[in-house]
Amino acid sequence: MSTAQDRKNLKPKDYKSEIKPIWCPGCGHFSVLSAITKALAHLGLAKEQVALISGIGCSSRIPAYVDTYGFHGVHGRALAVASGLKAARPDLTVLTAGGDGDGFSIGGNHFLHACRRNMDLTYIAMDNEVYGMTKGQASPTTAPDWSHSKLTPHGTGIRRFQPAAIALASGASFIARGFSGDPSGLARLVVEAIQHPGFSFVHVLSPCPTFRPEQRAWKQQVHPCDLETTDNPIDAAHAIQSDDGRSLGIFYIESLPVWRSEKAAQRSLSRIEQEFLV
Using CB under 8 A, list all residues that contact another protein: 1-2, 19, 46-51, 53, 61, 63-64, 67-74, 76-77, 80-89, 91-92, 109-110, 112-113, 261-267, 269, 272-273, 276-278
Question: Measured from the CB of residue 89, what is the shortest distance to another protein in angstroms?
Answer: 4
DSSP assignment string, 50-106: EEEEE-SSSGGGGGGGBSSEEEE-STT-HHHHHHHHHHH-TTSEEEEEEEHHIIIII
Nearer Cβ to another protein, position 45 or 168?
Answer: 45
Nearer Cβ to another protein, position 46 or 258?
Answer: 46
Question: Measured from the CB of residue 130, what is the shortest distance to another protein in angstroms?
Answer: 21
Nearer Cβ to another protein, position 15 or 211?
Answer: 15
Q: What are phi and psi of 182, to 5 degrees?
A: -130, 70
What whole-number distance in Å separates Cα of residue 94 and Cα of residue 66? Answer: 13
Question: Measured from the CB of residue 187, what is the shortest distance to another protein in angstroms?
Answer: 21
Strand 69-72 with 122-127, pairing: unpaired
Nearer Cβ to another protein, position 169 or 237?
Answer: 169
Name the residue among 67, 128, 73 with its Cα closest to residue 96.
73
Nearer Cβ to another protein, position 152 or 170?
Answer: 170
Question: Measured from the CB of residue 166, what is the shortest distance to another protein in angstroms?
Answer: 15
Question: Measured from the CB of residue 63, what is the shortest distance to another protein in angstroms?
Answer: 5
Q: What are phi and psi of 252, to 5 degrees?
A: -155, 130
